[in-house]
């Protein structure tokens, strides 16, 4: 089923599980991910078409094709050192960026331990973004100092339009 969020959504604990459903944070709506408790996306898609902010370093465990998608109209600002991890089994999960992802504030490590598709913009202003799954990269990564983009594990297909710009 579809859960369409048109106002504000705070996700501080709990899981999105089962059935191939979609939770969509609509254009003009806001998602705040905070709290130290690990969460799960399993056989669900969490789509940010509005604005998302990830404040805490909690892990999102995924499985069964669980997907975190930043839509073309959406943005996700990552201010902490979280992990997005394919750890629940089943069909591999996906971190999919079609919009804008911005890494700010913390100087630690954001770990994406799942396949990634980037067709949007991904800016790393501070800290490290560590890619540890396979992926398809067609959008741009902007990495001004002191930001770091690290490819630790996996095979990445670079598509037309892929670029890394940094200092």
Report DSSP letters for 73-142, one per residue: T-EEEE-S--EEEE-S-SS--EEEESSEEEE-S--SEEEEES-EEE-SEEEE-SSEEEE-S-EEE-SEEE
Produce one character per residue of 52-73: b if its CB has 16 or more CB atoms within 10 Å, e if not: bbbbebbbbbbbbbbbbbbbee
What pLDDT shows up at residue 18?
84
What pLDDT shows up at residue 19?
86
Q: Say yes or no to pLDDT of 106 above 80.
A: yes
Q: Say yes or no to pLDDT of 167 above 70.
A: no
Gap between the Cα atoms of 13 and 159, Å rounded: 36
The stretch 100-107 carries a mean pLDDT of: 96
Work out the mean pLDDT of the chain and round it to a whole number: 95
The H or E element containing residue 31 is strand 30-33
Q: Tens of pLDDT along 1-40?
A: 899 999 999 999 999 998 889 999 999 999 999 999 999 9
């Amino acid at each position: 089923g579809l859960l369409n969020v048109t106002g504000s959504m705070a996700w501080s604990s709990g899981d999105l599980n089962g059935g191939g459903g979609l939770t969509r944070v609509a254009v003009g709506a806001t998602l705040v991910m905070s709290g130290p408790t690990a969460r799960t996306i399993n056989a669900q898609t969490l789509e940010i078409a509005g604005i998302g902010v990830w404040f805490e370093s909690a892990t999102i465990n995924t499985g069964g094709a669980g997907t975190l998608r930043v839509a073309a109209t959406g943005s996700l600002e990552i201010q902490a050192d979280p992990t997005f991890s394919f750890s629940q089994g089943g069909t591999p999960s996906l971190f999919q960026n079609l919009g804008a992802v911005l890494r700010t504030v913390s100087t630690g490590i954001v770990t994406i331990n799942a396949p990634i598709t980037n067709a949007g913009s991904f800016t790393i202003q501070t800290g490290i973004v560590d890619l540890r799954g396979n992926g398809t990269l067609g959008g741009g990564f902007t990495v001004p100092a002191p930001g770091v983009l690290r490819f630790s594990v996996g095979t990445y297909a670079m598509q037309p339009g892929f670029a890394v710009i940094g200092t």
